[in-house]
Amino acid sequence: MIAKNTLKMLASGLGIASLLVLAGCAQNQTLEDPAQSPVAQEEKAKTKATEKAAAAGAQSEEKLPDYANMNPVPIEFEKLSVKLRDADKQILVRIKDRAQKAKKLIITGYCDRKQVGNSKAAAIARANAVKSELVRMGVKPAAVRIKHATDVANKHAAEIELVAST
């Protein structure tokens, strides 16, 4: 019996406390339109920027070069990098069938010697990175020839020339 009375008192006390808290919140409300607050305007601007970026990304995907028919196929590298990026690997996936059927592939690695100290090694490493990925995809290593060029200004890439089988 005492426990029931205690529970009733606690429940009514909690109810009163809840009402006081809500009343305090109601007094602190502003009459400002939330859509016009600086935070809301900033969020709206971020949303629009995100939507524009997504639309631009969709357009750039539609305008991708036709790597399946391109010859030579360019693979771009960062100036100081010899590592293939995921986007570059996707290009290689697109040309995989042609590369496997080709009589020979000539991969030329490029690195501007005026911008990079060990440009010959970098150019060869880029070509070998492309070769390794193609071999991993099933291209015969014997069909691949590696070349390098260090005298082309601002070119940090590899190009894959596919020589068709006759």
Encoded tokens for 23: 């009343």
pLDDT at 8: 57
Q: Would the pLDDT of 18 be above 90?
A: no
115 vs 40, residue with greater confidence: 115
Could you read off the pLDDT of 138-161 as tens digits, one per residue?
999 999 999 999 999 999 999 999
Q: Are 67 and 99 in contact (CB under 8 A)?
A: no
Q: Are 108 and 161 in contact (CB under 8 A)?
A: yes
* pLDDT band (50, 70, 90) for residue 71: confident
Q: What is the DSSP string of 49-63?
A: HHHHHHHHHHHHHHT
Could you read off the pLDDT of 54-64 as tens digits, one per residue?
665 555 455 66
- The alpha-helical segments, DSSP class H, found in the chain are 2-27, 38-62, 86-101, 119-136
Q: Would the pLDDT of 69 be above 80?
A: no
DSSP-assigned letter for residue 85? P
Q: How does the average pLDDT of the chain come out, rounded?
A: 77
pLDDT at 66: 77
Could you read off the pLDDT of 97-151 as tens digits, one per residue?
999 998 999 999 999 999 998 999 999 999 999 999 999 999 999 999 999 999 9
